Each structure stands twice: as C-alpha cells, then as structure tokens.
Structure 1
Amino acid sequence: MSSVAVLVELVRSGTAGGHVKCWERFAESAARLPGTAPHGAGGPGLDLTVYFLGDRERAETLAPHVRLVTLEPVLSTAALTSADGAEDATDLTPYHPGLAALLPRHDVWHLTHSFGYAATAVRLARRTRTARRPRIVGSVHTDVPALAAVYARYLARRRMPAGLLADRAARWAESGMRHRRDRLLRCCEQVLVPPAARAELARTLGADRLRPLRRGIDHDRFRPDPAARARLARAYGVPADRPLLLFAGRLDASKGVPLLAESVRLLRERGRRAHLVTAGAGAETDAVRRCLGPDVTLLGPLPQERLAHVYAGCDLFVFPSRTETAGNVVAEAMASGLAVVLPEGATTTRWLAAPGRDGVVVPRDDPRDWADALCALIDRPRRLDAVRRHAAATARRTHPSWDRVLAEDLLPVWLGPPGRGGTPRPM
C-alpha cells in the first residue's frame, strides 16, 4: 500500500474555512474506499493521514486506512490575527519536530500550503539519503500571496495610519509570499492546481509538472429545502417577508465585502426591501454593521451543517470576491438553489454552465453596477425563480462529487508513476 501524508498547516475546527473543509471531505471519500486491498488487486491501495494544526495533539480515525491528525503549532500566527480571529492561523516555524518524527512512515508527502509543515517536509527530504526517498507532491488551494497582501495592509493600518506605508507592507508581503510558495512548489514532482492558477504556475514550474485539481460538492448536504426559510427566521430572527441576500466567507477586503455592503446600501436607498445575511467574520464586520444597520444579520462563522440550512433559506448568493482559486461556496449555493451573483472574469464563474441563466455576472466592480444586477433579479421574481432552478440543475448535472474528484484527480497522482522530480533546496 502507498501511505500518503497530506500536510494542511491550518487549524482544524468546526468553523474552519474551505481549505480545511476540502481535505476533510477528501478524507471522508477516502474512508469509503476499500483501502486495505493492495493496489491492483481490487482496491486503490491507499493509506491516508491528513495533518492539521490544533490546540493539542490528537488523532481521529475515519477508517482503518484513513485518519485525521492535529499537531500543536511551534510558532503560531494566532497572536497576529485581529480581535475577531477571522484570519486563518498557521505555523511559521522553519521546522516542526513533531511532524518530522511522523513523516518517515509515509511514502508520499503532499504539501498544501507554504508554511511550517511544508518547510519541514522539504528540509527533511533534503536530508534523506536512504533508498526509500519520499515522493513530494503539492497542491494550490488559495491565492496566499493575495491574502498576505490584504492582511499586511490591515496590520499596517492598525499600527501605521499612513496609507503609503500600508501599501508598501502589502506589496512586500505579496512578493515575499509568492517567492516562498514557488520555492516550495519547485521541490514537488507534480503540483495539482485549479484552472485559475495554471497559467501563472506554468510559467514558474513548467506546464508538464501541473495536474488539474477540482473541488467537489456534497449534494446530500447542500440542496434546496422549502422549509429552510421558516427555520432561518425562527432561529436567527431574519425577516421572512423580503428577498434574502447571502454572503459566506471572511468579511474582509479580500472577498470584496466593502463593495458588497455599499451595493446593498444603494439597493435599500432605491427603495428595494432586501436583507443581507452573512456567515463568517472578519475585519469588515463592524463596517458592514454600521453601513447597513437593521438591514443585515451577521451570523458569524457557522459549521457546515448549519450553513447548509442558511443557504437553503435564502434567495440570492452575492459574492464579489476575485481572490478565489475555486470558490466552493458558490457551488454550495447553487446546489442549494440560490441565484448566484458573481464578478465577470472571476474564477468562480467557472461553476456556471450558462451565465445569465444559472447565475448572473457583473461586468464592473462598481457598487452601482452590483445594485443594478440585484435590482434586475429582485424586481422580476419570475426571472429570479428561473435562475434559481437553473442553478440547482447545473449543480446536479455538472458539479462533481468529492468521491469523483478523489478518484480522478488525486489518486492518479498519489498512486501513479512519479512525475518529473523537484529538487529539495536549503530553506
């Protein structure tokens, strides 16, 4: 059997973001595989361990051949997060001794981020001189350089009000993070990437080293539910007598939240009775509350089970973000029967099969354009209903399950022949 270690240097919790949820779903899919059979003898021959960060060391067994392990960080970034703690905390250590002690038992080391776990794996591989050298592969899930720029700007403005200094900090953070990410990925023999990242990384790594990586959707969890609207009103006091707009994700500039808030304010200024519901937290939480007052319900971070009910109870999913590499929340909203409103040219529009029919794209990042797009749906209930039906149909017909993505995208890389090897370099 091939033993695979997936390294996710983010904190695992019930309200963790899409990167953590993605690997939880892949692990659940792997647990459904006949993993104890040797490869080529009726089973995939996979033994999988996914490593996360946590407040203590623990292991959760999903199947005899699949487990989720959390390790304590050595140099956590938790102290750098804002008061609401919406930013993802990671581990900045150049070497994690606990992980280093566990990695040699695995054949394949899969890097998914650019911090402590990845740095430890590359350092350890560079030192390995035995015949049983590990295979190192990687995947890209988030535009980490873009997020680093946003967070650096927020941090700089807390300490240095001058906008020029904040902009310089953002540019420095983005450039440094991109250099670090690329240096680690060059050590991988194959790198799984979403379509949005392929062109940039092909220039850095070479197209022959890249493999596709899609996101899946749990169609049993995310689906239309006519009773969800009433439950949403009872549970959270959300008004049930007007169109409900939903946003799910971090409430910060990386997701376009200032644009969203101003768009909804204009919508209300034009006399439309609409209410915004947000699931998540972030640096813009207070600004959204001040901007919209009673016209917004801020639910904070929610676990997947509760989030699924919130999706199904709303009418539109409004997501102005341009920093997504996949945007799984868009797929979840469509599967739940919401009309999605997205920026033209954003990677999230790849979830649409027929833009204009199963979702709406807005050509410019201007609050007036977004307010126009929302008015066009709210003022025409029959069109809104048609878009919602087409969105759900597209999700059922074209959005793959997590089982399918595991089988078609990940297993061939983990269990197939090695690709062109990267060269582990000193960190």
Structure 2
Amino acid sequence: MPSVAVLVELMRSATSGGHVKCWERFAESAAGLPDDSGLDLTVYFLGERERVERLSPHVRLVMLRPLIGTARLTSARGAEDVTDLAPYHPGLAALLPGHDVWHLTHAFAYASTAVRAARRTPRRVRLVASVHTDVPALAAVYGRYAAGSWPRPAREALAAGAERALARRRYRLLSACERVLAPTPAAREELARALGPDRVLPLRRGVDRHRFHPDDPDGAARSALVRRHGVPPDRPLILFAGRLDATKGLPLLADSVRLLRARGSPAHLVLAGSGAEAGRVRRALGSDVTLLGPLPQEGLAHVYAGCDVFAFPSRTETCGNVVAEAMASGLAVVLPEGAHTTQWLTAPGEDGVVVRHDTPVAWADALGALITDPPRLAALRSRSATTARTSHPTWDRVLREDLLPVWAASSGDVPARAATPAGRSGGAGG
C-alpha cells in the first residue's frame, strides 16, 4: 500500500458538512486497519490554524490555512462552505512529494495545486479523484445570491456563466486523473462520457450505526429535544439538516409546511444548519419552526432520533449522506423523485416517500399523508431503519471495497467492481 494524500479544500470544524464528515469517517476506518496493512493516509483540510491531528501511527488529519479563503466573501450571505480560491497553495505543494497517491476531492486550491505540481514532479505520482459535490450546480445558485436585486435576466446570465465556468474547471482537473470515483450510476455515466468508462469507478458512502440509531423505547432523544430546544412535545416533527439555502430546496420545504399549517395540520419544522434562507424561513413560519443552528455529529444524531420525518427536497446532492443517517435513526424520509438521494431506498413507498413534483402542494400532500396517518408513519419508520441496517454499507466496508483497491493498484491495473447505487451494498456487512 502506498502513502496517500487526500485533498479536501474545505474548512474543518465540528459542524462541517457531509464532504468533510465523509473523509473524517474514512480516516477513522483507516485508523482501525491492522498495522501490517501498509497504508499511510494523510487527509488535508483547511483550518483556522495549521495543525496535525493523529488518529493512529499511520493516519493523520492535517489542517492548512487558506490563502484566499471564501470566509471573507459575503456574496452568498453565509450560504457556501468555506474553501480556498487561490490558484496555487505553496504549503500543500511542499508536502505533496512525500506521498505516492494524490487524491483530489474538490475543484479549487488543493486540486489545482496537485495537478500543477504533478506536472513538475520528477518522479511519477498517481492522481485520482472522487466527486462529492455538484460544484457547477452550486455555483449557479450562489451566482443568483451574488446578483442580489439585479434584473432577472442578468441574474440568470450570471448563474449560467458561473455554472459553465465551474463545469469546465472540474473536467479540466478530472481529466488529469487516472481514476475518478463517483457515488451514483448517473454521475458515473456522465463522467464516463467525458473521461472514458475505464477511468470511472464507484465510491459509495457509508453510515455510522454507532452514532446514528433509533430513539430509545422511553423516548429519551425526543424528551431531550423538547427540554433543550423547546420544540412542541405533542406535534409531529419534520426535520431538515444541511445548509439552509436554495441549493437544498429549503424554500420549497418551508412553503409546504406553511401550507400544511394553513390546512390545520399540527406539523412542526425543525432545522439543523445555517445559511442564507434562515431568516426567510423564520419570518414565514414563526412559532411553527425551530432553528437549531449548526450541530456536531453527536448532537445531530440525538436530533435525528427525536424527530418523526426527514424531509429533504435537495436535487444538488451527489449522494446525500444525511438521508442515510436519518434512515439509520429510524425516520421516515421524504425525497424528490429523480434525485440521487433516492438511491438509499430499496423499496420506494415502503422505506421512504418519493414526491413526484417540486411544488409546495405536492410536498404538503406527501408530508400531510404521513403525519395524519400514525400507523403508516410507524410502518415507514420501521422499514426505513431495516433498510439502513441490512442494505447500507458501513464506512469500513466502503474503505475496503472502493478506496483501498484504487489506492493500491498500479496505473491501469484497478480491478473493476460491479457498479452499485450509493445506498445499496448487497448486504450490510461491516
């Protein structure tokens, strides 16, 4: 096994999003490998200060300060994750030659530095990549935020231009890699058309069943949610977790809950996260919404277990690990038809609800049908937890089956594995 550098140019904190959490989980799994595995893994993140966190003698997390950090930008009103827009990061470039495999996961400073440094390195290094975020789609949404009150044609022109520019950049960086991993069949098909089918392989997401599990029989998680955050004790709780912005479909969900309340439904919305739409949702729903702010994984796990339904209208996810976490926590999940997140379901309609139309009426109808039918809600929650337990892979399994073969193989010698949807593993094995 080689020395591997994974490049995650996002700010790491206790409340970071799914991309960062994904690589924290993979690093934890790698730290649990036997000493004779031979793997040496370093995951590079951005950080407020430079530091090293050692998980084991052969696994470490390294935080480097950004050069042009987007934390200083206010165009998206706090909606975007913090990355580094610098075209080259000298600090990272000085460290990369100590590794054999350079694994790109994004499309900004770290990725461009690795591609540039690889061309200049006298010895051979291997570049691989994985796709975690639909960066072009996010750029379009943030372009609209940046445009503010511009006329609609100008806003759309800016959004379209940002999307095209980021798509070109992403493919330029990916084209330098010998292998590219993606979580869903649709994403792999799209990449294969541009890069060639032999270069594209699956990278599923795992679930941590120790952190995420259903509430205790005595309802301890629900009681704690009522006590700590003041949510209504006697109303069905609809949870949303993620960035509170248009990229995740939050305006649609807020409008649907407002419609539910107008119909007399007892629904209450719980939001875990922060972002540009927080104020709008608070004004629209008033006492019918509880905003928890960003939460660490342990805190979020208790919130999942204390709620009833997980509603996630986002169409920009490449995988949507929050859906797997919600299912492992025993929530009924409600998702948009055709979204990549539906790959976590094995029997749509039985272990999760799929909404056909992205309208407040369609979402209000789907949510209302659940919370006004307790037996159906209970059955969905039970089947959801069963699917998570029997069909979703663990992080350990994904590391062994999806990542280690790619990192260990010589160029052009990666064994092909049957492509499986993001949430299906052919069994739960650890």
Question: TM-score by structure 2 length?
Answer: 0.94
Q: Of the candidates 114, 129, 150, which is equivalent to residue 138 of structure 1?
A: 129
Q: Are 1:148 and 2:148 counterparts? A: no
Q: Are 1:163 and 2:152 counterparts? A: yes
Q: Of the candidates 210, 224, 236, which is equivalent to residue 220 of structure 1?
A: 210
Name the counterpart of 1:400: 393
Structure 2, unmatched stretches of 5+, are 415-430
Query: What is the CA distance between 1:152 and its match in structure 2?
Result: 1.0
Q: Of the candidates 166, 172, 181, which is equivalent to residue 177 of structure 1?
A: 166
Name the counterpart of 2:5: 5
Query: 5 Å matches for 1:299-314?
Result: 299-314=292-307
Query: What is the CA distance between 1:419 and its match in structure 2?
Result: 2.7
Cα shift readout 1:356-410 (whole Å, capped 9, x = no counterpart): 1110001000110111111111111000000000000000000000000000000
Name the counterpart of 2:417: none
Cα shift readout 1:10-60 (whole Å, capped 9, x = no counterpart): 0000000000000000000000001x32xxxxx2x2000000001111000
Query: What is the CA distance between 1:81 and its match in structure 2?
Result: 3.7
Name the counterpart of 2:366: 373
Q: Of the candidates 291, 294, 314, which is equivalent to residue 284 of structure 2?
A: 291
Distance of 1:80 and 1:198 partners within structure 2: 33
Q: Are 1:235 and 2:238 counterparts? A: no
Name the counterpart of 2:196: 206
Name the counterpart of 1:77: 70
Residues 209 and 420 of structure 1 are in contact (CA less than 8 Å); yes or no, is this contact kept in structure 2? no
Residues 223 and 306 of structure 2 are in contact (CA less than 8 Å); yes or no, is this contact kept in structure 1? yes
Q: Are 1:192 and 2:181 counterparts? A: yes
Query: 5 Å matches for 1:32-181?
Result: 32-34=32-34, 36-37=35-36, 43=37, 45-81=38-74, 85-129=78-122, 132-157=123-148, 160-181=149-170
**Change over 3 Å in CA distance of 1:330–1:135 after alignment to 2:** same
Moved over 2 A (4+): 81-86
Distance of 1:119 and 1:252 partners within structure 2: 28
Residues 76 and 145 of structure 2 are in contact (CA less than 8 Å); yes or no, is this contact kept in structure 1? no
Residues 280 and 301 of structure 1 are in contact (CA less than 8 Å); yes or no, is this contact kept in structure 2? yes
- How many aligned residue pairs are there? 410
SS in 1 for 2:351: coil
SS in 1 for 2:293: coil
Q: Of the candidates 325, 338, 355, which is equivalent to residue 332 of structure 1?
A: 325
Distance of 2:406 and 2:143 partners within structure 1: 35
Distance of 1:302 and 1:104 partners within structure 2: 36
Residues 81 and 87 of structure 1 are in contact (CA less than 8 Å); yes or no, is this contact kept in structure 2? no
Q: Of the candidates 349, 372, 377, which is equivalent to residue 384 of structure 1?
A: 377
Distance of 2:161 and 2:111 partners within structure 1: 21
Distance of 2:67 and 2:355 partners within structure 1: 44
| AA at the equivalent of 1:281 | S
Distance of 1:47 and 1:268 partners within structure 2: 54
Cα shift readout 1:250-269 (whole Å, capped 9, x = no counterpart): 11111111110000001001
Distance of 1:345 and 1:318 partners within structure 2: 15
Distance of 2:74 and 2:144 partners within structure 1: 13
Distance of 2:14 and 2:172 partners within structure 1: 32
Distance of 1:140 and 1:83 partners within structure 2: 23
| AA at the equivalent of 1:203 | R
| AA at the equivalent of 1:288 | V
| AA at the equivalent of 2:12 | R
Q: Of the candidates 262, 276, 283, which is equivalent to residue 269 of structure 1?
A: 262
Residue range with higher mean Cα deviation, 385-394 or 86-95: 86-95
Distance of 1:187 and 1:222 partners within structure 2: 37
SS in 2 for 1:88: coil
SS in 1 for 2:54: strand
Distance of 1:314 and 1:327 partners within structure 2: 18
Residue range with higher mean Cα deviation, 365-374 or 193-202: 193-202
Q: Are 1:31 and 2:31 counterparts? A: yes
Structure 1, unmatched stretches of 5+, are 38-42, 422-427
SS in 2 for 1:263: helix
Question: TM-score by structure 1 length?
Answer: 0.94
Name the counterpart of 2:411: 418
Distance of 1:74 and 1:372 partners within structure 2: 48
SS in 2 for 1:299: strand
Name the counterpart of 2:237: 244
RMSD (Å), alpha carbons: 1.2
**Change over 3 Å in CA distance of 1:96–1:320 after alignment to 2:** same
| AA at the equivalent of 1:266 | L
Query: What is the CA distance between 1:119 and its match in structure 2?
Result: 0.5
Q: Of the candidates 314, 321, 344, which is equivalent to residue 351 of structure 1?
A: 344
Distance of 2:413 and 2:56 partners within structure 1: 32
Residues 81 and 89 of structure 1 are in contact (CA less than 8 Å); yes or no, is this contact kept in structure 2? no
Cα shift readout 1:272-318 (whole Å, capped 9, x = no counterpart): 11100000111111110111110000111100000000000000000
| AA at the equivalent of 1:199 | E
**Identity %, equivalent residues:** 71
